[in-house]
Amino acid sequence: MSIKRMFWIMTSLMSLALLAACQPQVVEVEVTRVTTETIVEEVIKEVEVEVEGEMVEVEVTVVVEATEVPDPQGGEIVESSFADISTLNPVLGSDNASSTNYSLMFEGMATLDPFSGAVVPNFATWETSDDGLQVTYTINDGINWSDGTPVTANDVAFTFDAINTEEVASPRRSNFANVADWEVIDDSTLTLNLAEVDCTIPANVATQGLIPAHVYESDPLNIPENAENTAPTVTNGPFAFGEWVPDDFVRLDANPDYWNGAPNVDSWIYKVYADQSAEFAGLLAGEIDQTSVAPGFVSVVEARIASGEDLNMKKWFTNGYTFVGYNLANPDNPQNGWDDLDGDGAYTEGEPPLAQDPHPVLGNLEVRQAMANSIDYTGIINKVAFGQGGPTVANVWPSIGWAYNNDIEPYAQDLELAAQILADGGWAAGSSTNDADVAVLEKDGQRLEINLLTNAGNETRENIGILMKDTLDEIGFDVTLEFIEFGTVVEKLLGQTYDVVIIGFGGGAPDPDDSSQFSYLNDEVGAGFNFVSYYNETVEANLAAGKAVPGCVESERAPFYYSNQEEIYNDVPYNFLYVGLANAVWRDRLINIDPNPWAFRYNIQDWAITAE
């Protein structure tokens, strides 16, 4: 490659008088070289410089700049998991496997800064009124769907309409609790009007992945049961749908017209394995370019990296937690969390919480307290998670430092205390025994029996379940373990037809508002994330007040979340086990990957595969 550079000629061979008399001259020097590093070298070159009519030979310092080498093109990236998708529609999604896939096809107006978590513009800008009650979004020019149709404010409005249509049963509906309405001003502009200030709007609404109105004929009722939900034909992200073979893989193909630059690779593969062990075997066999390894395999990866294998790993504490969730309502009679006074089946402003039929076992606070004191939290972190996690005591992520309540005393395993709590609550030995040959406790004819659910293939959660069963059986519980496919777990949770679950929550912006999990407005059978049917009047009030602080000043919001953490800690709808370490691993052949805590694939269009 021949590159022409303009260089200033600086000489040390001429006298001071000559330098004073002559101005530095620009000479075009042709340098023929390819180098990937910037270097400085001195060369002697005869150049025509007029100095009193004579030719002089001067010493020229030449800076040879790095030659820009284009990224490799083509190939496919293989990522992996042991959980399959349930949908590819961002309006319907409620699980991480689905989100990982559809977020590469359907983008929102805003996104998260990958290293701070702050909400930043993606392909739109916005302005908020002085009173905080109106937000106006403007979509940038040149943003198109993969079929060439422009992304417009009508797509934004349609997405919002779909989320708020009862028949669609979107789990995102709670994000609009304080939204009065929205109005399309023109093709590029939409105004969102709020009933009251809501500090969560940028994170929960502006980042929502959009869906194309024209594909659904602008009618939300065309969304349920639509083939587009698992095989979308039109997208606006870096990838388009290619193929889905259930329990095997999803293939996404590069979108050559992506507004932020076409991906370097031809396709991205989401490979599904039976469990974490099979997935790790696939990594070692070279089948996988990038994955997150289970805690038990981290030391193996570290050893292979130390021995020179072409692997890389980066760790950070995740934004979320692993927890035990307790269904407080009767799983044989799932009900929405509000009293449906108008009989329309949906929440209407002002409808009060419903006093639900309680779970026959877990509806008793002393049972949940006993379980909280029976769990070996330290053992789970050190032995089951192999040290790949940190303790947490409450519902706010520790990464949100300004809102995390460090004053709460963590639960610790105390089996004597757990047994005493049960005895004080009226539970006494019955005539039947459990798998440990221990008498099962009873109260008013009700056996202390529960089903403990988690997703098959997640060996860490399975081992936590086994540990919990062994411990609980020793103090008089009768625990049945149920390890089933992840999509079925999600169905049982949202349908509220389970007893106890080991699961995790995470992702999203760094905001402590968790109305989606603990407000009765989101206790909606089939759709809501408050699948434990939790209601606490103080928590409800704090959730409303915490996101309505004028100016969203963190120090003024924090007391509401401190209070909620104490309330939830005492009520025990969850037991918080630990915050996990993300262990991102990738092969050397995958370049330009930039792992981070908040938006792992933010630059996926730049990822490339080098030649073997």
pLDDT, tens only, 543-573: 999 999 999 999 999 999 999 999 999 999 9
What pLDDT score was predicted for residue 509? 77
| Cβ–Cβ under 8 Å, residues 318 and 582 | yes
d(Cα 202, Cα 464) in Å, to the nearest integer? 36
The closest of 546, 145, 100, 553 to 292, measured between CA atoms, is 100
**% of residues, the chain, pLDDT over 90:** 83
From the number of C-beta atoms within 10 Å of its C-beta (0-12, 13-18, 19+), residue 305 rates as middle
Q: Can you list the pairs that 341-346 forms with residues at least 24 positions away whose Cβ atoms lie under 8 Å?
A: 344/166, 345/166, 346/166
Residue with the bigger pLDDT between 423 and 203: it is 423
Across 65-69, 92-96, 238-242, the highest mean pLDDT is recorded for 238-242
CATH 3.10.105.10 in the chain, residue ranges:
320-581
d(Cα 123, Cα 345) in Å, to the nearest integer? 36
d(Cα 405, Cα 560) in Å, to the nearest integer? 11
What pLDDT score was predicted for residue 3? 34
pLDDT exceeds cutoff 80 at 605: yes
pLDDT tens-place string over residues 349-405 = 899 999 999 999 999 999 999 999 999 999 999 999 999 999 999 999 998 999 999
Residue type at 326 in one-letter notation: Y
d(Cα 290, Cα 586) in Å, to the nearest integer? 4
Pairing of strands 500-506, 311-317: unpaired
What pLDDT score was predicted for residue 510? 86
Mind giving me the DSSP string for 237-306?
SSEEEEEEETTTEEEEEE-TT-TT---SSSEEEEEE-SSHHHHHHHHHTT--SEEE--GGGHHHHHHHHH
What pLDDT score was predicted for residue 31? 45
Q: Which two tokens stand for residue 348?
A: 């209407």
Per-residue pLDDT, averaged over 24-30, amounts to 45
Confidence of residue 519 (pLDDT cuts 50, 70, 90): very high
Residue with the bigger pLDDT between 102 and 4: it is 102
pLDDT tens-place string over residues 54-84 = 666 666 565 666 667 889 999 999 999 999 9
d(Cα 464, Cα 454) in Å, to the nearest integer? 10
Number of H helices and number of E strands within the chain?
14, 27
Determine the topology of domain 320-581 in CATH: Dipeptide-binding Protein; domain 3 (3.10.105)
Confidence of residue 604 (pLDDT cuts 50, 70, 90): very high
Per-residue pLDDT, averaged over 444-454, amounts to 98
The closest of 245, 133, 225 to 179, measured between CA atoms, is 133
Q: Which CATH class is domain 76-289+589-609?
A: alpha beta
What pLDDT score was predicted for residue 23? 44
Across the chain, mean pLDDT equals: 90
- For the entire predicted model, the pTM comes to 0.85
d(Cα 302, Cα 305) in Å, to the nearest integer? 5
CATH 3.40.190.10 in the chain, residue ranges:
76-289+589-609
pLDDT exceeds cutoff 80 at 52: no
Residue type at 504 in one-letter notation: G
Confidence of residue 20 (pLDDT cuts 50, 70, 90): very low
d(Cα 342, Cα 448) in Å, to the nearest integer? 38
